[in-house]
Amino acid sequence: MSAYVFNSRDPFPLLSDDQITYSGAQLHSEKVDAWYGMETQKVEARIAALPSTAEHQFWQHLPARSFQTPYTEFRQILHLLDPKPKTSLIDLGAAYGRMAFVIGRHYPGVRFIGYEAVKERVVESQRILDRWAFPNVKMVHADLSTPEFTLPFAENYFVFDFGSKEDVSKTLEDLKKLSKQGAFSVVARGRLSRHLIDQEHPWLSQVVPPRHFEQFSIYKSA
């Protein structure tokens, strides 16, 4: 099926890969954004007009659909992770916080933090989240690449290709340090994140066999 009809009673359906194509999932996600009232295009236009002073890559030159994971994919990821109540999930480079909405609706006992370096995206996402008053999710403006940023421990992490190789490498090193506190899962999406984990982080890719899917991989620390 190339597309999936949006249903406001079930905005984040659990679908198999043969039920929706990736382009169909993107279109479905745009309908969800519109239903929520997320003004992604307007915000990205404002971001693009700002003076470029950042040293890092935040994808402001790309269409929003290019750097956002579809809602249906997040639902699939969460189904595979099966996070338990009172555990935490952290999205590293959360953009407009799509995972927050899926967790807020389907996993109300799971604590969620979405870190995003572009403040305008955080403000817009939190504006919509506040309308729904999910008590367990929040978006935070933070640059993961800075030495001052301290990553908290969580049972699950989601890492997209949120920045440059140096930025993603720094975050993976942060995760390596946290692995001494306990085991956790890392969902890596994008070629860069998966390549770095497979080639440079055997503690995450070679002790517990990872699970690979077309768009993402699930790793688990020992």
**pTM metric for this prediction:** 0.93
5-24 burial: b if 16+ Cβ within 10 Å, else e: ebeeeebbbebeeeebeeeb
Residue 12 belongs to a domain: no
Residue 24 belongs to a domain: no
Q: State both tokens at 69.
A: 């994971």
Residue 116 belongs to a domain: yes
For 207, half-sphere exposure in the C-beta direction (CA atoms, 13 angstrom radius) is 11
pLDDT at 163: 86
Residue 14 belongs to a domain: no
Residue 58 belongs to a domain: yes
Domain boundaries, position 172: 34-220
Residue 103 belongs to a domain: yes
Residue 159 belongs to a domain: yes
Q: Does residue 99 register a pLDDT over 60?
A: yes
pLDDT at 50: 80
Q: Which residues pair with 188 in a beta bridge?
A: 159, 217
pLDDT at 18: 85
Mean pLDDT of all residues belonging to the chain:
92
Residue 15 belongs to a domain: no
Question: Of 1-15, 51-65, 80-94, which gets the smallest average pLDDT?
Answer: 51-65
Mean pLDDT throughout 170-199?
97
Q: How many domains does the chain have?
A: 1
CATH of the domain at 127: 3.40.50.150
